[in-house]
Every structure is written in C-alpha cells, then in structure tokens.
Structure 1
Amino acid sequence: MPLNFVLDPPVDLQLRDGVLTLWTDVSNAGGAVGFVPPVTPDDIRPEWVRHLTAMSEGRIRLLAGYDEDGTLAATSFIAFNTHRLMTHWVWLYTVMVHPRHQGKGYGRDLLAATESAVRGFDGIEAIRLTCRGGTGVEHFYASCGYKEVGRVPDGIRVADGDDRDDIIMLLPLK
C-alpha cells in the first residue's frame, strides 16, 4: 500500500507526536538524521521546535507521508535558501522513513514526491542535500538521480574517534 503524501500538513498534536516518534525511532535504528542513539522524544523536541519555527516563518516546508493507518511514516523537510545568490535551489533535510517500512520502496516514493512538490515552487532549479558517509545512503540517493557534488572528509563527528565524510548531493530539476 503506497504512502499518502501531504505537503504542509496541519500542525497539530498528532503531527507533533508523529514527527517526534518517527525521528526517535529512525535515530535509534541507526538512521543518520542528526542524532546518535540512544535518543528519546525529549532529545528530539528542541530540533522539532526549530523546524516548527522555520515552518511558521515560511523558510521550511514539510512533506509528510502517511501509511494506510494514517500514521506518519515518512518526512522530508524542504528548506528555502535565504542567501540572495542561491535562492534558485532548496535544501532537503531530515529525510526519514520509519524502520518498519524499510524495504517497501517508500524512500524512493518519498524522494519522488519531494521532487514533484519542489517542481511546483517558482524559480527552484535544484534540490541539494547532505548525507553522512559510512552509511551507504549516498548510493540510494544516487539511484534516485542525485549526483555527488562535494565531500568534506571527516566533516561529521558521530563520536570521539568516529568521524564521517559530509557528502553533498544535488538533483538538478532542469
């Protein structure tokens, strides 16, 4: 059963709880979404509040994917670039699919839905994201059309003695 994607879903307690649960579960399953396990929803909450603030200011838009039960199962946060010379591309952040849905093609569906949504934004010519080296996720993004355009060796410190490359990827929309 495919996910139902909604751009800019209503911000309510159900969305808050869904994002906090999803982000916690993805992080604790080893997903590279800004945290290192173990984490709790209380650890995630300050970052969610920062995302909410940016959403309320129109700097970030949320694409939410809901499963057949109406449970939040996937997200991507689309951030507009505020630098006047770079407003022709957006950042993609916090790309997540719940671990119980891994292997169903939902990640590919999420990226396709994100691309479709972004194509509807005026003046946007590309989507840019970064990912943590050592996870292999760059191969997944490449299979979805993203190209590696840069790499910062040891740019991400997961833990003392565990530095990973910060991989920059781009999807041109032209």
Structure 2
Amino acid sequence: MTLTFQLDPQIGPALRDDVLALWADVSNAGGAVGFVPPVTTEDIRPELVRHLAAMAEGRTRLLVGRDEEGTVAATAFFTYNQHRLQKHYIWLYTVMVHPRYQGKGYGRELMDAAADAARAFDGIEAIRLTCRGGTGADRFYAACGYKEVGRVPGAIRVAPGDDRDDITMLLPVA
C-alpha cells in the first residue's frame, strides 16, 4: 500500500479536523511536532489556525498524504522565506506520519513527495528543516538525503531537565 499525495488541497472542515487528529495522535505517540504529550486537538488548534492563516496569505503550502481509504495519513507544511536574501530555499515543518503507519515506508514516501513538490516551486534550490535531537529524526532525514548543517545544543526544552538539540538539516533540490 502506498500513499496518494496532494499539494495545496482545498481546506474544509473535514480536512482541518483530520489534520488536527493526525497532529494530536503523532504528538501523543511521542512525535516531535511542536508539542509534548498529552495534548488534545484543542491544544493544537491555535497552531493549525496559524498555519492556515499563512496558507491563506500564500506564505505556506500543505502536502497531504492519504491512504487507500482516503484517510489523512501524513502531512508536511512548506513555508517560504520572507527575507529577500533567503528566497532560494524553503522550510519544511510539521512533518507527520500517523503512528499506525510508521515503519511501513510512508515517511520516506512523504519526504520524496516533499522533495518532488519543492523541485516544482519557482526559484527553490533547497529544503531546510529542523528536528529535535534525541528522537532519531536526524538519522531518518539523513537517510532521505538531508545533511546536518547546524545544531544548537539544548535549544529545545521538552521538560525541566530535558533539553534537546535543535538540529538544522538541508536537502538540495535544484
């Protein structure tokens, strides 16, 4: 089984709720997507609203991966740089695969689809992303072709006494 990807899907209540549910499920399974468990969809909703507002302004784009039943199984958000000297690369944020699909190659499919999408964006030469140290995400992204280009030790405080590195990675796409 593979995922079907769509860039810039029409956002309606059903998709919004599916993304919220995915984000909560990923967070509660320990995924490093901006929250620490336990969280509810209501905890996540304000962050999704910020993403949706940026989409409406043309600053952010959404890539959705659906399974054979049409269920949202994976997402990634692209955010354009606003600084005039950094418009040649795009940021990839909130990269998620539902926990029930992890270990089945869907993460790799999502990253390949993201790279393919970025190659079609006008003037984009690379994708940058950050990930939380101590999760293994950096090894996954490296296996997808990303190179570590920066690290800030202890920049992410997951809990008192649990600080993680903020790792920046880059994938050339041009």
Q: Secondary structure at the match of 2:38?
A: coil
Distance 1:135 1:121 in 2: 30
Corresponding residue of 1:58: 58
> Under a length normalisation based on structure 2, what TM-score does the superposition of the two structures give?
0.99
Residues 30-56 of structure 1, C-alpha deviation per residue, up to 9 Å, x if partnerless?
000000000000000000000000000
Corresponding residue of 1:140: 140
Q: Secondary structure at the match of 2:19?
A: helix
Distance 2:136 2:8 in 1: 29
Corresponding residue of 1:25: 25
Q: Secondary structure at the match of 1:31?
A: coil
Pairwise CA distance, 1:172: 1.0
Distance 2:67 2:40 in 1: 23
- Quick check: 1:156 aligned with 2:156? yes
Corresponding residue of 2:36: 36
Corresponding residue of 1:130: 130
Corresponding residue of 1:78: 78
Distance 2:38 2:75 in 1: 20
Distance 2:94 2:19 in 1: 10
Q: How many positions carry a matched residue from both structures?
A: 174
Identity %: 72
Pairwise CA distance, 1:136: 1.0
Gaps of 5+ in 1: none
Corresponding residue of 1:166: 166
Pairwise CA distance, 1:173: 1.5
State the AA in 1 paired with 2:76: S
State the AA in 1 paired with 2:99: P
CA RMSD of aligned residues (A): 0.5
Q: Secondary structure at the match of 1:135?
A: coil
> Under a length normalisation based on structure 1, what TM-score does the superposition of the two structures give?
0.99
Distance 1:168 1:14 in 2: 33
- Quick check: 1:102 aligned with 2:102? yes
Pairwise CA distance, 1:148: 0.2
Gaps of 5+ in 2: none
